[in-house]
Amino acid sequence: GWKDAISTTIINFNNEKMQITWAARELFPGKNVSFSYTFDEGKHKVWKPCPTYLLDQDYNSGCLFKTEGPTLAISIRNSNGSEELFSKRLKSDFYIKPSRPENVTFFWKEDTVTVSCNKPERAVKCLRLELQYKSKFDKDWQSRTSKCCSVGEQGFDARKCYSFRVRLKRLVPYCNVVNYSSDWEAETFWMNGTLLDSCDDDIKTQSNTVIILSCLLSVLLMKLILLILLCKWQRLQKLVMPAIPDPKYIFADLFNDHNGNFQEWIDKTDHAVVQTKLECEEPECTIEAESQQEDEKNSDKQRPQEKIFSFSKAAENNDPKAAQIACLMPTSNTIASFAGFQILMNDDMYVML
């Protein structure tokens, strides 16, 4: 009775090849076994030895042979074939594992995707086409199954990249006693009807866009901060260190036309003559002349009188600069300031310091 308890794995690859495997080391420790099979029925069976053994550490653990009919009988014996250790009869059609779907096509229409493949030559009614998909935001695959050989699904977002894979499945228990499915067709990546090499490309593109925008915003923010700090610094600098007036802006003609040469500037007659005439017509010059005549009669103030007279005399002699200075000078001081310069008066001479 223990012979029936032996566990075997039976796979019929698309009704083309059979693979029978068993646990050799657990079932037959230290022993090697032989395998034989037949697709014949009745008393006249012709047993065929295994053409290709599958090994597990040099022990026979399976056999691979061609599928030749719907009914299969197998026998496992000791190494010389004298003793049968296990036997079984089965329907090979109930252990079919279909091949991968061929010529898979994707058809996009708005948010609907329809996937189809070529119909197999055999047992189309026993097959189902399974579609699995997921976006880069999904952790698990979403599944949709339909009759062979077309399946459709709705609700796809055109802004997302999706991974797709398809396979064929056998119906259980109507067609198979074991739930066998084909291997998955190569995974493909789609976005809004466009085939991509990988969804990572879409992620990298978005990541690069985010990085570029972040860098641009950072640069603009830094410029704004620097501009604010510069304005604050200029205000602080004006408060702590106020600007010193530059005399060249007050006496522009002195520095621009005469390079700061005061004597040359004072000798200039064009501008000064007009200014002297305007200034000497004021009552102050007349009063100053009258005061000079009164001072001539006073002998105690002879020296200041000579100083004032010298400027008045110079004005009478058509010396425009001297007349201009005479009008600007106070009458009681020997040293006066003029335009940031000191002028020393002595007799008929004036000296600029």
Choose between 296 and 280: higher pLDDT.
296
Same fold, 8-97 and 105-196: yes
Q: Which residue has the higher pLDDT, 265 or 177?
A: 177
Instruction: Give pLDDT tens digits for 185-222.
Output: 989 998 888 888 888 755 454 556 678 888 888 888 88
pTM of model > 0.75: no
Domain ranges of the chain: 8-97, 105-196
Q: How confident is the model at residue 171 (pLDDT cuts 50, 70, 90)?
A: very high
Local confidence band at 322 (pLDDT 50, 70, 90 cut-offs): very low
Best CATH choice for the domain 105-196 from the list 2.60.40.10, 3.40.50.720, 2.40.30.110, 3.30.450.20: 2.60.40.10
Using alpha carbons only, how large is the chain's radius of gyration in Å? 58
Fold of 8-97: Immunoglobulin-like (2.60.40)
Which tokens hold the place of 238? Answer: 């004006």
